[in-house]
Amino acid sequence: MNGGFFFCIIWLMLTYYLFYFVIGLIFGSFANVCIYRIPNDKSVIRPPSSCPSCGERIKWFDNIPLLSFILLKGKCRGCRAQISLRYPLVELLCGIIFLLLAYRFAFEPVLFVYMLFALVLVIISFIDYDYKVIPDFLSAILLLSALSFSVFNYQLGFDFKSRALNSLIGAITASGSLYLLGYAGTKIFKKEAMGDGDVKLMAGVGALLGWQKSLQTLLLASVIGAAFGIYLISSGKINKKDYLPFGPFLSLAAFINFFLPEFWI
């Protein structure tokens, strides 16, 4: 009896995590569409996906996240052109992210907000890396969703009022701090040191995490970004005058802070 009950619990847990992993893969496929189409001012809904090499419309059975790439051996069924490895990697990344969030916020009302937030952060990171721009409406989605659901986010306080206030203060503090850092950097280095997109992104991050964690996010993103920049410069991949987009580092640091307590730094 005890063995059967234990087996049922394990089976339910595995089913729960597998479900969110698969959901993450599906949304990862959608993220790929957004990453390609949003910067090119194309609809993310229509037309259906097609091969970028031959233009042939991709059949539904060739568009199954991760699985289709493996079965097709990374090539288009029609023209046999190589499919970019980024597509399955983004899908796998989103699957892992949703799995981790399902573990961290299991059965909590804010789980879906954090999943939406993480998905948008992934889209923003790749767009910023490719085009060095963060679309304003994506940052707006983060800010509005974080503020709207702040009263249910127990990490922001013990009651509805304190949670809403912490969210609002976090948005102002995070974006304001980054704006001041960018302004100071511009004066010191005599060139733009921080884009407006990064400031707007941090408003959403601050609204979700609160002012304490948002400051931790800024510090962690600066450390990761500086370390990565030093590596690229020392390896000769970029020089000191090249612009390194900050959005991916802010997104990574924000995601890490999803799982960490306040004042961990």
Q: Which pLDDT score, from 0 to 100, does residue 126 have?
A: 97
Q: Span 182-210, mean pLDDT?
A: 86
pLDDT digits (tens, 9 = 90+) for 90-104: 999 999 999 999 999
Per the CB < 8 A criterion, the answer to whether 203 and 148 are in contact is no
pLDDT digits (tens, 9 = 90+) for 192-201: 767 789 999 9
How many CA atoms lie within 13 Å of 52's alpha carbon, on the beta-carbon side? Answer: 9
Measured in whole angstroms, how far is the alpha carbon of residue 107 from the centre of its chain?
Answer: 21
Torsion of CA 86, 123, 103, 220, to 10 degrees: 100
Judge whether residue 265 has pLDDT over 60. no
d(CA 74, CA 182): 42
Judge whether residue 255 has pLDDT over 80. yes
The winner for highest mean pLDDT among 42-56, 188-202, 217-231 is: 217-231
Q: Span 119-145, mean pLDDT?
A: 96
Q: Which pLDDT score, from 0 to 100, does residue 202 have?
A: 96
Q: Span 15-38, mean pLDDT?
A: 96
Please report, as a single letter, which amino acid is at residue 42.
K
pLDDT over 90 percentage in the chain: 62
Checking 152-161 for CB contacts under 8 A at 24+ apart, the result is 152/109, 152/110, 152/113, 153/110, 153/113, 153/208, 154/108, 154/110, 155/110, 155/209, 155/210, 156/210
d(CA 78, CA 90): 23
d(CA 265, CA 245): 24
Per the CB < 8 A criterion, the answer to whether 49 and 87 are in contact is no
pLDDT digits (tens, 9 = 90+) for 160-179: 999 999 999 999 999 999 99
